[in-house]
Amino acid sequence: EDIMMTYGDGLSNVSIKKLVKFHYKNRSKVTLTAVRPKERYGVIKMKKNKITYFNNENRTADTYVNGGYFVIDKSAIKKIDKNSTYWEQEPLNFFAKKKQLHAFKHEGFWKSLDTLKDKNDLNILYKNKKLPWKI
């Protein structure tokens, strides 16, 4: 049967129900949850070494990244054919080239837990009873 997968190193309020519905509506082999991470630093734009834009406050990225939540068709699982298969390389690139990889855009809360700062930030939210990942 089809499966759902997550890396397990982040928190989000992704609606699983909407994610699954999107996956089947698009007849996707693999659906990846696309998120906009917060920039860690201020953003500048340049043209010929002159700064044309400077913003140290609004730290929302203009791009989407892999949020680590997936719905995977049972036939797509076969692309993981050995223990050394790297999910982000062979399978995801294969389905992207075949136009069978879809992005479910999640605009809600998402935060990775990659660094000690990430852990501390999430602990502060938890201690203050601000649980934006809770649905």
| Each residue's pLDDT tens digit, 34-55 | 998 877 777 788 998 888 988 7
pLDDT category at 59 given cuts 50, 70, 90 is low
Residue-level length of the chain: 135
Question: Which amino acid appears at position 16 of this protein?
Answer: I
C-alpha distance from residue 79 to each of 6, 65, 85 (Å): 17, 22, 8
CA distance 27 to 129: 39
Query: Which of 84, 82, 78 is closest to 29 using CA atoms?
Result: 78
CA distance 22 to 58: 30
Arithmetic mean of pLDDT over the chain: 91
CA distance 72 to 49: 44
Q: Looking at 20-29, 59-68, 94-103, which range is the least confident one?
A: 59-68
C-alpha distance from residue 101 to each of 24, 31, 90 (Å): 12, 6, 13
| pLDDT above 70 (res 60) | no
